[in-house]
Structure 1
Amino acid sequence: MLNDHLIQSLTIGFTDEEHARRRLELKESVSRLICKKKNLVDQLELIDSMQQLGIAYHFEKEVNGFLSFINSTIDAVSDEVNGDVKSSALLFRLLRQQGFFVSQDMLVNSFKDEEGRYKAELSHDMKGLLSLYEASFLAWEEEEELEKAKIFAAEHLIRALGHGESELTEEIEYSMELPLHWRAPRLHALRFIHTCEKRGGIDPSLLELAKLDFNMVQSIYKDEVKDVSRWWRNLGLSGGKLGFARDWPVESYIWTVGLVYEPQFSRCRRELAKMVCFLHLVDDIYDVYGSPHELELFTTAVERWEVGALDELPEYMKICYLALFNTTNDIAYSILKDKGVDTLPYLKKAWRDICNAFLAEARWYNSGYIPKFNEYMDNAWISGAAPLSLIFAQCLSQDLTHKSLQHLQPFYPSATRYSSTIFRLYDDIGTSKVEIERGDVAKSIQCYVNEKNVVEERAREKIKDEIHKYWKLLNQERANFSEFEETFKRAVMNLPRMAHFMYYNRDGNGKPNHMMKNIISSLLIDHIPA
């Protein structure tokens, strides 16, 4: 999409003292605004705006403190917003997003009367319905009342759209397409800034801080993507004997911004982008180029993880294997030097697992075998590459310790499996046809069609149901995240969000369309005008 020459020519601005000083002034102004807001609903709406604008990371202490206090006094707070569906749903959503346990009853009681019926006035409260609809996506498994509330809210919102009854038309349409909880934060922040500019009604200091901060953080991204592109060029893996593989350093970097966008995670983005470059390369070896015998050799070499394994490999695989071996070892060495923690056993296992998963799919394809849906998914949640990305994200955490690394036992926590399953299902929805045409194993959709003897449309509905199911499981697991580092917490939630953007109803990763190119330009190239 963008070659190295263009990347290196990017101009990096917004790094001078004047901009840094102005951002500090704006942060102080917003801090005063936080203290000034005394009404509970005003405080909740301010925090929601800060999060959607992408600037809440500047005020984590204040936000965490406020939401912790609210959670500790939830009964009194619930009484304060009781009867106001919009505020109750916002409170519920913010607390669950933060990982607090909040009973669904708190929200249900706001929109049902004493006889258990939906309050009559609710069907005309578009803001309340939209807030309720968004909150329902934070549901856990078996919270049937929230599922019913989602259906109720959606029906009335769609009806209002059909009659042209609401000034919230654009917002409702977008939520129907992509609920807030499923949006990649950095991409959403960009959109929300433009929305706030257009509709007004937001504190000017908030909006100015959001725009300035977006531009200043974008400058960090430019420096990082230049570094990644330069590293890839110097590695010399594009073209030549590996000319069949995807040459995607920029696209690989974009994934990392989707996972952890805040500036303090710069090291994670830089190193993780390198691993994503290798993922594309190794995936193409297994899917496109390697013979069955060569794939067996490469998998064995990764299992051995030693330089001596090179001897058995064909020339093109030697180049890839040694580069992968050295880069992964370098990352592990850097972490050991800085943190005193040996992550190499974890990083090696992540690569071994994904190569074995790739090999299983290659064997299926070469033998003409179509696995059953569950058999496919037991392998596919790993072959989708999400677990490897999350392992590296945890190991690249700023505050990594021996103790926090032990939380990867079992090696893939439940949150990793749930997040990775959603990622894989989104991937299959968006890329299965293209990949099968180029010569790849049957994906989840084809496996379900073959096993159940149903049409493809029914299989796609099944996949969407599975996505909803695993989002509920991931939501519930979010309440058990306290033992993980911040990098992992963000990445495990944002990975499926980024997959939705990349893959849902289009293969943004494999065949970028104009919208995708525009988004990348907005994240990496175009600053937001003051």
Structure 2
Amino acid sequence: MASFSGSSLLFSPSFLINTHTKSPTSRVSQICRATNTPKQNINIEDNISFDITRLHQYHNLNEKSSTFHSDKLFFVDHERKIEDVKHLLQSTAENNPTEGLVLVDAIQRFGLDSCFQEEIETILQQFYKTTNDCIYGLYTLHDVSLFFRLLRQHGYYISADVFNNFKEKDGKFRGKIRQDTRGLMELYEAAQLSFEGEYVLDEAANFSSKILQESVAAGHMDPNWSKMITNKLRRPYHKTIARLTEKDFFQDFQWEKTLRELAIMDLHKERSVYQAEVRQISEWWDKLDLANNLKLARNQPIKWYTWSMAILMDDISLSTQRVELTKSISFIYILDDIFNLYGTQDELTLLTEAVNKWDYAAIDTLPDYMKTCYKALLDTTNEIADKIYQMHGHNPIDSLKATWASLCDAFLVEAKWLASGNLPTADIYLKNGKVSSGVHVVIVHLFFLLGLGGGAIHLKDTSQLTSSVAAILRLWDDLGSAKDEYQDGKDGSYVECYRKDNEGLSVAEAQEHVIGMIENEWKSLNRECFCENHNLASSFKKASLNLARMVSVMYNYDDNQRLPVLEEYVKFMLFN
């Protein structure tokens, strides 16, 4: 029963290896046993890009890079390219509105939309006014799908009924669109933004994915198209961190040279900021010295930072927010390890009571190995609350304390379940599991770090959004554990609880049920972000979506128990 931190990954030169072997026994014993097995002997030079000492070797290079980025000529060139793209947007939208939408989509995928928010909004608003009433029957499958996706992403009302125009009288999609590969790819992308009850989009997703998979399997397609389709089915744009598809765009998407150059310049600027933030996190973590006090616990500051980097990637200026959010995420991991690797039931009860009290005097009630961590949790959280007060004028310490207390309460419940060997029903497990996922801790810190909560917007307005993201993480994590070749579904996960509730159900059937649940939670999250909660800041909704998008990256293990997608992302964002 893992938290936000997921399966315990022991720190090695690469944090991308799952060192846990699984067994049919409780997760507590399984983790302890895995922890006591020899670590894989990995040459540190083979994984040098993930070694924190390597990042410090970038220091002199980054100073030069920083000087370069602050150079007047660099900024003049950067601003000139921004102006060039603005003119490109305007002229393309005027001369060919549909191609203008394609350009808007490309800008978003390159992660450049923050530079062109006004221009993009103007284009979409104009297109919506002139096109929405006559969209039925007037555009190709590709154009309608792209139009639908972009407008829904930006909060415009558009009915999924637009896709009924591509059906026969019998209610099935027309046979002739089976040959429209480009249109089917865009239809599949559009279907990812569905709400509950939009059955035409469920049909669209099933239909398009089936035809595209068959086309790839037939082997008659150009290899580049085959690769593009495979990547799209595996990582649909809406459910994937944008930068993960950026390389594909550099390779496969033919667009204006200016846009490519601007994207490269922006990425270089971002890398210098991100690398500086990682060094800041590393220095903070080393100063805490928790790695020496809790030697069995994880020591993965780069991985913890990667969550924050992805969550707040839409605004490079949010450096303080990324650093402070990483600190809170690190304690989710450490507390998870204390509950899983160290504590007896009595000790964990003492820790939970102490966190609920939030009192330095409670340190004396704790065993020695918990004292440093408990003090560091209080110190760090109080410092974060003070920084939020300095930035936004209100102190959220009561809300921050409450979310840490809820997390430890949920951890303790799971520890008792595992110790007793009596698993709850699937519904009870998931209700507690959404809390123990740690998502609520992240969302609450994120809410206040972004300056919300001081006015008409209240934390309670995020409850459904938080619930959906937490369920996505919990179910993804449990699904990955159940799929592990050593696991056989017996890990105290939702899969096991669901099979216990439904006698005779196979692991595969339970997994299919979980996949369906994840899809439904995405639909709920889509509604919260694109239809409901208009008072919530767009920055907060984008960050929450990015949190959900990172789940599949953080839990996408290959057959060797490595995380190749995460490895690709970290290398691309921080080192390449």
Number of residue pairs matched?
Answer: 512
Partner of 2:42: none
Compute the displacement of 1:70 (Å): 3.3
Q: Please point out which of 533, 537, 557 is paired with 1:485.
A: 537
- Determine if contact 2:185/2:208 at 8 Å carries over to the other structure: yes
Partner of 1:421: 471
Compute the displacement of 1:370 (Å): 1.1
Partner of 2:460: 409
In 2: Cα distance, 1:219 partner to 1:36 partner: 33
In 1: Cα distance, 2:277 partner to 2:416 partner: 38
Partner of 1:42: 99
Partner of 2:45: none
Partner of 2:153: 97
Partner of 1:218: 271
Gaps of 5+ in 2: 1-13, 15-49
- Determine if contact 1:357/1:380 at 8 Å carries over to the other structure: yes
| CA 1:228–1:516: 2 relative to 1, 3 Å | same
Compute the displacement of 1:212 (Å): 1.3
In 2: Cα distance, 1:293 partner to 1:466 partner: 35
In 1: Cα distance, 2:484 partner to 2:208 partner: 36
2:341 maps to 1:288:
yes
Stretch deviating more after TM superposition (266-275 or 424-433): 424-433
Partner of 2:305: 253
- Determine if contact 2:97/2:127 at 8 Å carries over to the other structure: no
Partner of 2:189: 134
Compute the displacement of 1:476 (Å): 1.4
Partner of 1:328: 381
In 2: Cα distance, 1:494 partner to 1:435 partner: 29
In 2: Cα distance, 1:435 partner to 1:382 partner: 27
| CA 1:320–1:433: 2 relative to 1, 3 Å | farther
Compute the displacement of 1:71 (Å): 3.5
Partner of 2:28: none
| CA 1:217–1:137: 2 relative to 1, 3 Å | same
Compute the displacement of 1:518 (Å): 4.0
Compute the displacement of 1:346 (Å): 1.5
Q: Please point out which of 147, 152, 162 is paired with 2:207.
A: 152
1:309-328 correspondence runs (5 A)? 309-328=362-381
In 1: Cα distance, 2:289 partner to 2:368 partner: 14
Compute the displacement of 1:435 (Å): 13
2:54 maps to 1:9:
no
2:401 maps to 1:348:
yes
1:63-462 correspondence runs (5 A)? 63-76=120-133, 78=135, 82-109=138-165, 111-113=166-168, 116-167=171-222, 168-196=225-253, 201-239=254-292, 241-261=293-313, 262-397=315-450, 399-400=451-452, 402-403=454-455, 406-409=457-460, 412-431=462-481, 442-453=492-503, 454-462=505-513
| CA 1:258–1:436: 2 relative to 1, 3 Å | farther
| CA 1:302–1:488: 2 relative to 1, 3 Å | same
Compute the displacement of 1:434 (Å): 7.4
TM-score normalised by structure 1 residue count: 0.91
Compute the displacement of 1:303 (Å): 0.6
- Determine if contact 1:253/1:273 at 8 Å carries over to the other structure: yes
| CA 1:417–1:25: 2 relative to 1, 3 Å | same
Give the partner amino acid of 1:254: T
| CA 1:376–1:435: 2 relative to 1, 3 Å | farther
In 1: Cα distance, 2:246 partner to 2:468 partner: 25
Identity across the alignment (%) = 30
Give the partner amino acid of 2:142: K
In 2: Cα distance, 1:190 partner to 1:313 partner: 50
- Determine if contact 2:141/2:183 at 8 Å carries over to the other structure: yes
Stretch deviating more after TM superposition (379-388 or 162-171): 162-171
Give the partner amino acid of 1:45: V
Please state which structure has a larger fraction of its residues in helix: 1
Gaps of 5+ in 1: none
Partner of 2:108: 51
| CA 1:359–1:117: 2 relative to 1, 3 Å | closer
Deviations 1:320-362 (A, max 9, x none): 0110101110010111122111211121111111111111101
**Larger relative contact order, structure 1 or 2 (CA cutoff 8 Å, min sep 6):** 2
- Determine if contact 1:390/1:492 at 8 Å carries over to the other structure: yes
In 2: Cα distance, 1:306 partner to 1:33 partner: 58
Compute the displacement of 1:148 (Å): 1.2
2:542 maps to 1:475:
no
Compute the displacement of 1:77 (Å): 5.5
In 1: Cα distance, 2:285 partner to 2:539 partner: 24
Deviations 1:356-389 (A, max 9, x none): 1111101101111111111110011111111111
- Determine if contact 1:428/1:445 at 8 Å carries over to the other structure: yes
Compute the displacement of 1:487 (Å): 3.6
SS across alignment from 2:250: helix
SS across alignment from 1:442: coil
In 2: Cα distance, 1:473 partner to 1:413 partner: 12
Partner of 2:87: 32
| CA 1:21–1:284: 2 relative to 1, 3 Å | same
